[in-house]
Amino acid sequence: MEENAVVRSLLALAQVVRLRVFRALVVAGPDGMTPGALAEALEVPATGLSFHLKELANAGLVSQERQGRNLIYRASFEEMNQLLAFLTENCCQGQACELAGDALQSHRTPSCQRPS
């Protein structure tokens, strides 16, 4: 992943509503969500939501597909995984990483596992 694409992705996620939208779409998985369902689930006005979805789409983090009369938005898992890979590429310079506290246990990436 190119650094400019990383910066675009991080800028898109550096806003509370967009971060919440992206996380909701990740949870929704390949089924995705309509803007109406997102607005209702996140208690966000639909008018502002379209702006945030556009910003996430411009960063490549979400895609949209028309199904009949509905637009379905989905998280781009490939883009998300590329971003995570870029951020953890040089994690601990190739050595096993120790994570601070058990609270981070569920958020470990494969390159940062605690030593066995």
Q: What is the structure's pLDDT at 80?
A: 94
Domains for the chain: give ranges and CATH numbers: 1-116 (1.10.10.10)
Q: How far is 28 from 42, CA to CA, in rounded Å?
A: 13
What stretches in the chain show pLDDT beneath 50?
Answer: 103-104, 109-116
Q: What is the structure's pLDDT at 115?
A: 40
Q: How far is 3 from 86, CA to CA, in rounded Å?
A: 9
Q: What is the structure's pLDDT at 85?
A: 87
**How many whole angstroms from its chain centre is CA 25?**
8
Q: What is the structure's pLDDT at 106?
A: 56
The three-point CA angle 75-18-28 to 5° equals 35
The pTM score is 0.78
Q: How far is 56 from 9, CA to CA, in rounded Å?
A: 8
